[in-house]
Amino acid sequence: MSEPKHAIQIDNVTKSFGQFQAISQVSLDIPMGSFTTLLGPSGCGKTTLMRLIAGFYEPDHGQIHIHGQQVNGMPVFKRNTPLVFQEYALFPHMSVYENISYGLKMQKASKQETKDKVNAMLDMFGLQGLQGRQPKELSGGQQQRVAFARALITGQQILLMDEPLSNLDAKMRVEVRNELRELQRRLGITAIFVTHDQDEALAISDTIAVFEKGRIAQVGTPWDIYFKPRTPFVADFVGTANFVAGVVAAIEGNDIVVRSESSLFRVYQSQSALQAGDKVTLVIRPECLVLINETDIGDARENAWSGAIEKSSFLGRTIRYWVNVGPFQWIVDDTSPSMRGYLQGNIHFALDKHNIHILPGDAL
């Protein structure tokens, strides 16, 4: 029999708690050796699905397969799916060595095997010299590394993580997530990661499943989730977007001309079933709007505007402007703020036709 293609298969799973339906008819295939993130706001169902995979909950309907085997009704300890929690859940009375080796102790491994494997984990996670310390003597990042080491020491090929970085400061989060991604690639394990942090999901995932009110709104690569959202919710939750309601005015080759109020937008769309007169919603990311000189606008009527800055926000690598153009307010990011400094008054900006995403219908 051939090895299963997917590490985890979730088929039409539903779970309720009393009258509250936490997830509804969720299906998701997680490939072997991939890093998959379950992303969404609080209460959307992502953690419920994680706990269903781990075996802490049982689905009301649907099936879950791990490595091709149906696990409905299988106890937690038989699933080989260690779960790293937000709170780390380290044993406070045990040393680092004892915490990491706990799973081997339960398996009755020999002292030499335990020593060798713990030392390997200490090296892998940069914890050398800390094996005698207790959790209270460690930093947050060190505690998190101990939790990962404990989860992986018995050789499991699936690692579940429920917002494991949320207790770390911003800089440490980036450091630990990069280490975690590198480790996952090096070991070839299958990682399932729950977070509400969009930047985190985009940075480390092979695949992102975006949850909305107990259902999966979209599954895709970070690029597709960000630049090709299928719904207004996904576009708005993952990053920031300008939404423009319009009507298709004409189809000109691979270009679609959209009219919205007094503006015309030219959108490149090589394959589209849209026709003149169809309602659409344009999704435009703030960083796709490029600041230009007034002389560059000329007589252009498409994809170029002038407007007055209402407010701004310095974000370090960018300055974000809210710009009023008639009744509409654009969010515009200057991605090279050191070149221009803070701008005031009127500014001028343009948009490449390839950087506009179209949602069919009036989605606003």
- Average confidence (pLDDT) over 344-361: 93
- Average confidence (pLDDT) over 40-47: 94
- As a whole number, the mean pLDDT across the chain is 91
- Average confidence (pLDDT) over 256-270: 89
pLDDT at 170: 85
pLDDT at 3: 62
- Average confidence (pLDDT) over 320-348: 92
Helix axes 111-124, 140-152, angle to 10 degrees: 130
Prediction pTM value: 0.90
- Average confidence (pLDDT) over 139-146: 87
User: pLDDT tens, 189-214?
Assistant: 999 999 999 999 999 999 999 999 99
User: pLDDT tens, 60-77?
Assistant: 999 999 999 999 999 998
pLDDT at 2: 57
Residue 300: pLDDT over 90 = no
Closest residue by Cα to residue 227 from 309, 284, 170, 176: 284
Q: Which residue has the higher pLDDT, 289 or 173?
A: 289
Indicate the pLDDT class of residue 145, thresholds 50, 70 and 90: confident
User: pLDDT tens, 226-248?
Assistant: 999 999 999 999 999 999 999 99
pLDDT at 1: 47
One-letter amino acid for residue 249 of the chain: A
The answer to which of 203-207, 213-217, 221-225, 250-254 has the lowest mean pLDDT is 250-254
Residue 298: pLDDT over 80 = no
- Average confidence (pLDDT) over 157-167: 89
In degrees rounded to 5, what are phi and psi of residue 335? -85, 0
Domains recognised in the chain with CATH numbers: 6-237 (3.40.50.300), 242-360 (2.40.50.100)
Residue 45: pLDDT over 50 = yes
